[in-house]
Amino acid sequence: MALLEQGVAVALASDPSARRLAALTDEYVRLGLVSPPCPLTLTGSPVDEELYIHFLRHVNEPSQNSASPYGFGTILVDAPCSGLGTMSRYPEIRLRRAPEDCAALVQLQQAILDAAWVRLLPGGRLVYITCTANPAENGEQVQAVRARHDDASLVQEYEGGDWELFGEYFYGAMLRKG
């Protein structure tokens, strides 16, 4: 919705949370925005991660999205993460996160990034962002994408620094395909 507010055309938006997806319609109306042409509805709580990854891999097949049978020029992955960069707002997060939670998130992020990479057009950009200070979910994840895909190059990376706002930590990287 932030992209739409800035006038950026959004062809598709998805989320592994059925609750957040259900709330999107009301938010679009509240903000006076036009909703994406391909709304996604997933049911179940929590959403099956395999279903989400399957969706990402197959979303742009001609039978699913006639706008482009080949892929997307830009993909933004606001990855599900441990949220350890938001402790100033949610100090209890440190009590809710265990090391095995982070390990599972790293695997999910890897699957999402690989599924998105398949749908990225040659020359396209993949923007990856998190709100965690965990290196395994940030720079190490981006390095791993580059190791798995020889056509991936790092364009830009932001870690802490200018992204530290109000005591919070954000990470972002832009990769180019080809």
* Burial classification of residue 35, based on how many CB atoms lie within 10 Å of its CB (0-12 exposed, 13-18 middle, 19 or more buried): middle
Distance between start and end Cα atoms, the chain:
29
pLDDT above 50 for 60:
no
| Chain mean pLDDT for the chain | 76
- Report pLDDT for 36: 54
| Integer CA distances (angstroms), 19 to 25, 43, 47, 103, in order | 11, 9, 9, 24
pLDDT-based confidence at residue 168 (cuts at 50, 70, 90)? confident
pLDDT for 132-152, tens place per residue?
A: 888 999 999 999 999 999 999
Instruction: Determine whether 38 is an active site residue.
Output: no
Residue % of the chain over a pLDDT of 90: 25
pLDDT above 50 for 162:
no
Sign of the Cα torsion 95, 96, 97, 101 reads positive
CA distance 162 to 21: 30
CA distance 78 to 65: 22
- Report pLDDT for 122: 92
The residue annotated as part of the active site, out of 38, 81, 102, 131, is: 131
Choice between 15 and 47, residue whose per-residue pLDDT is larger: 15
- Report pLDDT for 128: 95
pLDDT above 80 for 19:
no
CA distance 16 to 19: 9
Does the pTM exceed 0.85?
A: no
pLDDT-based confidence at residue 173 (cuts at 50, 70, 90)? very high
